[in-house]
Amino acid sequence: MAVLEAYLKGWEALMKHLRMWGLLYVVNLLLAFTAVLPFSGLLGETVAQSLGLERSLDGFDFGLLGDFMNNYGQPFSVVLDQAKGGVLLFFLASLFLMGGVLQSLVHSTRIFAYYDFWKGCGQYFWRLVRLTLYFFIFQSILFLCCFFLFQMIAGSLSPFELESEVPVIRAFWIVVPIWLSISTLLLLIQDCAKIRMVHKNEFWLVFVIRDSIRFVLSNFIRTYFLYLLYALTFLLLSFLYMKANRLFQANSTGTIIGMFLLGQLFILMRVGFKIAILGGLNFLYKTQKR
């Protein structure tokens, strides 16, 4: 019941911070546009007046894609580089904005205040950078360990040493669930660490991480299942989005606008999930600490 209550509280927290939600989404959209606009310009200059483009509206056309990449690949690679830059910039922006999100959720007031939000962004930025770096290292170590485990179970990765590809597949199905489970646990601990860091305004992240691990392990069922509940919700909504996406072809102004809106709704949902998860964990943290 505590899990369900925390789950619902997370969504409630999201609804209470609609402006924050909107802000995060707008940042995502604006930074993506920095690459999409030049891409749109490139398409306009190269293929907008080709009947081939018109024919491709009715479905996936590999021929068109291939010709575009082979003949206009160089300018497209410039756009791709810009996109990579946009992704990196978004990552840094997210780090910055996460402080504000935590400040708003943890020290929540009835009215969302921009002042508190920006204050939180500045206050926790460097700590979040360090925390992200530490958990990136932990995730990398986990990945390497799982890779070695994979090699051990498969016996070898060279096809010439294996009787068949079955050991490789078997190893995959054993190791990947293990990796996903532990990786999720690490993400959970990281989220709890963020909440604790803001609650205690703790500078030394070693203690924050230590205490978060203790918290998660002592409330393992609640915290892990809360996370899983959000994950399942996300998977369900993603599935519905994919199904809706395939219902019609984007071959007219109306359907293209429809696809755009549907896509943006999905992105909005993804942005909102992060806030909801933190809100739910925050509620659980507060109630379990009493």
Partner 1 sequence: MRIFCLITILGWCFCAKAQTDSILSPRTANYDIKVELDIAQKKIYGQEKIVWKNPSQDTVKELQFHLYHNAFRNTESTFYKERGFASFLGGKQDECHWAWQEVQKIVDNEGNDLTKGIEYIHPDDDNEEDKTVIRVPLLKPVLPGGSTTVDLEWIGKIPKIMPRTGYNKEYYFMVQWFPKLGVYEPKGMRYAEEGGWNCHQYHSIGEYYADFGVYNVEISVPKNYVVGASGELQQDTIQGNKKIYSYQANDVIDFAWTASPHFVEQRRQWNHVDIRLLTYPVHEHFGVRYLDAMEYSLEYMSKHVGAYPYTTLTIVDTPFHGIFSTGMEYPTLITVGSVCFLPKGVKTTETLAVHEFVHQYFMQMVATHEVEEPWMDEGMTTYYEGRIMDHYYGEQTATVDVLGFKCGNVVFNRWEFFGSENKDIADGSYKSYEFKEGGYKETSYNKTAIALRTLQGLIGENVMDTLMSTYFDRWKFKHPSGRDFIEVANEVVQKHHGDKFGENLDWFFDQVLYGSDLCDYEIESVHSRRLTKAAGYVDNLEDCAPVGRFDGDKYESKVTVRRNEPLHFPVDILVVFEDGTTVQEQWDGKARSKTFRYIGQDKVIAATVDPEQKIHIDKNFLNNSFTVNRNENGVRKYANQFLLWLQNSMQTLSVLI
Residues forming the site for partner 1 (CB under 8 A): 28-29, 31-33, 35-36, 39-40, 43-44, 46-54, 56-57, 59-60, 62-64, 66-71, 83, 86-87, 90-91, 94-95, 98, 128, 132, 135-136, 139, 159-166, 169, 187, 246, 250-253, 256, 259-260, 263, 266-267, 270-271, 274
For partner 1, which is the closer residue by CB, 18 or 157? Answer: 157
Q: Whole-number minimum distance, CB 31 to partner 1, in Å?
A: 7
For partner 1, which is the closer residue by CB, 169 or 240? Answer: 169
Q: Whole-number minimum distance, CB 253 to partner 1, in Å?
A: 6
For partner 1, which is the closer residue by CB, 199 or 270? Answer: 270
Q: Whole-number minimum distance, CB 109 to partner 1, in Å?
A: 24
For partner 1, which is the closer residue by CB, 2 or 64? Answer: 64
Q: Whole-number minimum distance, CB 244 to partner 1, in Å?
A: 13
DSSP assignments along the chain, one per residue: -HHHHHHHHHHHHHHHTHHHHHHHHHHHHHHHHHHHHHHHHHHHHHTTT-HHHHHGGGS--HHHHHHHHHHHHHHHHHHHHHHHHHHHHHHHHHHHHHHHHHHHHHT--SS--HHHHHHHHHHHHHHHHHHHHHHHHHHHHHHHHHHHHHHHHHS-S-TTT-SSSHHHHHHHHHHHHHHHHHHHHHHHHHHHHHHHHHHHT---HHHHHHHHHHHHHHTHHHHHHHHHHHHHHHHHHHHHHHHHHTSS---SHHHHHHHHHHHHHHHHHHHHHHHHHHHHHHHHHHHHH-
